Chains A and B, each alone.
Chain A
Amino acid sequence: MIKVTIDGIELEVEEGTTIMNAARKIGGEVVPPAMCYYTSLKGSGGKCRACLVKVAQGSAKDPRPMPKLVASCCTNVQDGMVVLNSTSPEVLETRRGIVEFLLVNHPLDCPICDQAGECELQNFAFDHGLQKTRSEFHRREFDPIDIGPHIKLHMTRCILCYRCTMVADQLTEERVHGVLWRGEASEISTYIQKAVENDFSGNMIDVCPVGALTDRHFRFRNRVWFLNPMDAHRNCSKCSGKVVLWMRGEEVYRVTARKDQYDEVKEFICNECRWDHYDTKDWVVEGPRAVEKWSVITANKYSKETVELPEQLFSKLDNAKWDSFEGVT
């Protein structure tokens, strides 16, 4: 075990733990945001730079000069390391910059995006961003394309986190979509627009942090904040069968995998559970889902923190952000 201090909180972790995972052991404000890292996807992380933290002090072992900004999702802690996250103005300032960079090529039109309300970028921008954009330049646009009967890809919204390609590589038989070109021209594409069809392809939608990959059966049918998430399960031969039913009244609008407080799916579900069982009779409904992460959905929904939540929300709204609010939602 080695010792590390994050935002003044000391803890002991096993060697080989990343700063991100060490921080998640503490929880709360100490945890850096992540837009590309995904625990269950091998090789994820290191790309979005949202998780940068300041290493104020390294260890005797590491000769690199400190302090230094490092990506917490792909940097291991070292004995005696001192890390600053939310207590460092420099980190917060930098993070604001990362929001700006992410939005340089992302449309500012959450009101017409189907992901709004459960979008990691929207939440990230709200928590860490500015209220104004400094980029007056044209953002790149693509036409939405269908990749198969279930999934819609709208590249305009993609932040190139690569998570979907990893799902395709690691969960499905053969990858039929991937990254083409390079630099600012990079895009997620399919080879001659081939259908994505295999048992676990639907998970691409769940891992996508933004509205670039959406469920064709659900798109634009309802706002997520009007739906009630219910934990449910069924016996499934292909996956765990543990899902969330998104309901309005008696009707199941969509089925997704369960996400934890870091917006991550731990148990991926198969396409059959996702798209072939819209009837509550097919499911054992466990009850309302305790949504652990603060977001628009939790505002009038079930939460583990039902008592604290209104206050949290209040402080978010109270900080004069809204006075000069322009566009970035």
Chain B
Amino acid sequence: MDHIYLDHAATTPVDPAVVEAMLPVYREIFGNPSSIHYFGREARKLIEDAREVIAAEIGATPKEIIFTSGGTESDNAALIGAAHARQALGRHIITTKIEHHAVLHTCEHLEKEGFDVTYLDVDQKGRISLDAFKNALRPDTILVSIMYGNNEVGTLQPIKEIASLLKGTNALFHTDAVQAFGLEAINVRDIGVDLMSITAHKFNGPKGVGFLYIREGVLLETYQHGGEQERKRRAGTHNVPGIVGMAKAVKLVSENREEKKQMMYRLRQRMLDRLTEEGIDFAINGDLENGLAHILNLYFPGTRVEALLSALDLAGVAVSSGSACTAGSVEPSHVLTAMFGSDAPQAKSSLRISFGLYNTEEQVETAARIIAKTVSGWQKPKHSG
């Protein structure tokens, strides 16, 4: 049986049209964009065209986009670059307890360097409180990093409100929009961020490529040194086919965005309806109203997530327990722990189901039935007993 892939928050299949856009670049325009001859110039045109597409998509100017090797690099570059560039103004950073590890571990690294980091709590829906944020803000706060939408539970944060609270302060505002980009229409001017991380493989683009939006006028310390690419802000020979593929994926994802989003809502609702019909005991972790359309995190009382995952896997349903990067470990999810407390059963008995472009309602039906059957194996004896 074919696997039903419901783990799109971990990564997405690359759109065949994206690969089609990349292959001719590999074959014909393989030059180094820094070379001054024809092949270099053609390659340079391609990356500058891609930069324009991407900038237009988020309401930025092309100069404000630098290409990176992915979300992790964008997060590291933004945080370390901003903290180091601003340390004369202060050494306080604010982030949340539910960031991706690319942000959290970078903050821990900065703590070792002597920066002072506040990790904001979240409520049971996974949202920070603006009051707590206001209280955390200090004159020496130089950087705030708060993710746009969470990769495990999907909860959206009040990005615009945070941005307006930061007006007139010394703090740069970074958001990790890796999970949100694509289904959410994001305009950087509108939301008021200074820095934003994106990776292509989460929206049917190629792996190994992403970008960082840096608002004009914001100076970061360069973290990867070398050639003069990206106006000296990120050295390294450009991944031209990857960049072209990412721009293609950006174009595709922005077409019929609202339709695609509605489709995700439908798939999500179908999963919930079916599980309810099957009489399964479950609760939603996160915030459906204020959450990313493609992510559904569910608590199934009485189950053990590792066993549940392998049973589902055997039955042909690919879902996950949390972010892929931590999925290999048995550590409880730091996101669920932040939401429900360290001993909360949710952290041991929850699944992340994440939908994507190629999922069909039939697949979701089938997956829901398999999930219900598997979960009831744990729940029934308990309920009848």
Bind each other? no
